[in-house]
Amino acid sequence: MKKIFITSLALISILSFTGCQPTDDYVYSNSNVELELDTADYYDIQRIHDNDDFAVCKLSVTTFQYWNQDAGLFDIRDIKNIVEYSTEERWLDINTNSVYSIMSSRITNAYNLGCDKLLFSNTDIFDWNNGADITENITGQYLADLILEANSLNMEVGALDLDIGDNYSINSLFDFIKE
């Protein structure tokens, strides 16, 4: 399992060579530049590639975020409880074809933009009062399917360490864990 470690030295070197400016949408790490998929564009990713770095596109695969470009595509019945640690997000019923289809489209969009890797956030839906009776088994199958889809496009998929904790069955699905 590969790990990505964030360093301030990498921030300085990437800023020097790519001309990128630090914003809330970017986190810099050893030869991996992390950016939010929803705010990334082709030119951001090309600048990252021009520096021989990897574009790591972060996306939530289990929550509804009203600011996402595809927010209007969700069926209101699939939008569930408020995420306890973020009042601006709501859990999704990941056990529906419509939610899977939207997330699949996000993966395809990431590929078309040129993302090299994906970083899934909010993968711990089963640990919360999600309002859709989403279990660890449902989450594991859902994530495995999305990871398989991304891997078929030659993109590695990682998870945020704080989202998955010590859950080995979920943890082992990912190509890397970001601490």
Which amino acid type is present at position 49?
H
Convert the pLDDT of each residue in 88-143 to its tens digit.
999 999 999 999 999 999 999 999 999 999 999 988 888 899 999 999 889 999 99
pTM: 0.79
pLDDT at site 165:
57
Q: What is the biggest distance separating any 2 CA atoms in the chain, rounded to whole angstroms? A: 47
CATH code, domain carrying 102: 3.20.20.70
Give the count of domains, the chain.
1
pLDDT band at 164 (very low <50, low <70, confident <90, very high): low
- Determine the structural domain holding residue 111 and report its residue range: 2-178
Dihedral Cα 34, 47, 44, 28, nearest 10 deg: 20
Convert the pLDDT of each residue in 81-103 to its tens digit.
999 988 899 999 999 999 999 99
